Amino acid sequence: MKVQEIQCRSALNLSKIPGMDYCLNPYVGCSHGCIYCYATFMKRFRNHQEEWGSFVDAKVNFADVLRKEVRKKRIGMVAIGTVQDGYQPVEAKYQITSQSIGILVENNFPFEILTKSSLIVRDLDLFKRYEKASVELTLTTLDENVRKLFEPKASSVQARLQTLEKLLANDIETTVFFGPVIPYFSDSPEQLRRFFAQMQKIGVSRILVDKLNYLESKIGKIIRKISNNYAPAIPYYRNILRDQIGYKISLRRRVKEVASDFKIAVEVLF
Ligand code: SF4
């Protein structure tokens, strides 16, 4: 893992995500290295030739810049972690996300943290009594072997389930982001049922569900990863590629049908 310390010029950037005014990303790159990651385009901004997941640039002056910006900008909703995960492993050392959250809390900015990392529990005390904090914890599978294939350096399934329990036990507003639903590995009625049942057992009340996007650009990497142990999945992916609209419609129907058996608010985003 190549870690560089860099200086940034801005910290709170305008967001195009519905419901979000700003996005906040203390690092460039993400060592979680998810093979479906949509943020790999970030490589070109810093001219990185390395593989996504193998480098991280830590914006070491981020908190200083943010402190100045929050005084000047109008209060608005901040999405933390839109093109990287603010709780990826380097955060244990740099604590830039942690410092940023402290600044947002002091200045009354509402925020939502998007993460796949159990490191977030380190900062629970920072925001657990702050009503304007919410968390979206991503889980795409309950199968640890599948998690290792698709999200190689993110927290384990078990660690994320425990994180969810801690967030809920501390009354933090928490949504599970079930996205992307991984074709072949998470998308059958049985797999969906198992997923929702586990979430209900933990006490999750809201789940956002998304499908795998940009399959055309991700398919080569996915096939290389699954070809050794999951060869039957390859024709499944090729079929989706041939009829992406048909897949979307049938997945949406499956998700809604299965979700209707559970007492969880399930929102399908596609
Ligand atoms: S955690 Fe998010 S930003 Fe990081 S590699 Fe995975 S999908 Fe990309």
74 band by pLDDT with thresholds 50, 70 and 90 = very high
At 243, the amino acid letter reads D
Average pLDDT over residues 177-203: 98
* Closest ligand 1 atom to Cα of 40: 8
Note whether 208 and 267 are within 8 A (CB): yes
Q: Does the Cβ of 268 fall within 6 Å of ligand 1?
A: no
* Closest ligand 1 atom to Cα of 36: 7
| CA 198 / ligand 1 centre spacing (Å) | 23
| CA 174 / ligand 1 centre spacing (Å) | 19
Note whether 85 and 119 are within 8 A (CB): no
The string of pLDDT tens digits covering residues 76-111 is 999 999 999 999 999 999 999 999 999 999 999 999
The string of pLDDT tens digits covering residues 20-48 is 999 999 999 999 999 999 999 999 888 99
Q: Does the Cβ of 212 fall within 6 Å of ligand 1?
A: no
Q: At what angle do helices 62-72 and 96-106 cross, to 10 degrees?
A: 20
pLDDT (0 to 100) of residue 66: 98
- The first and second tokens of residue 7, run together, are 């200086």
List the residue whose alpha carbon is closest to atom 8 of ligand 1: 37
List the residue whose alpha carbon is closest to atom 3 of ligand 1: 84
State the Rg of the chain over Cα.
Answer: 19
Q: Is the pLDDT of residue 267 over 90?
A: yes
List the residue whose alpha carbon is closest to atom 6 of ligand 1: 34
Which residue stretches of the chain are H helix? 62-72, 91-94, 96-106, 124-127, 144-150, 157-169, 189-202, 215-226, 233-242, 244-259
Q: Is the pLDDT of residue 238 over 90?
A: yes
pLDDT (0 to 100) of residue 153: 97
228 band by pLDDT with thresholds 50, 70 and 90 = confident
**Alpha-carbon span 83 to 175, nearest angstrom:** 19
Mean pLDDT, the chain, rounded, equals 97
Q: Does the Cβ of 33 fall within 6 Å of ligand 1?
A: yes
CA angle centred on 242, ends 241 and 244, rounded to 5°: 60
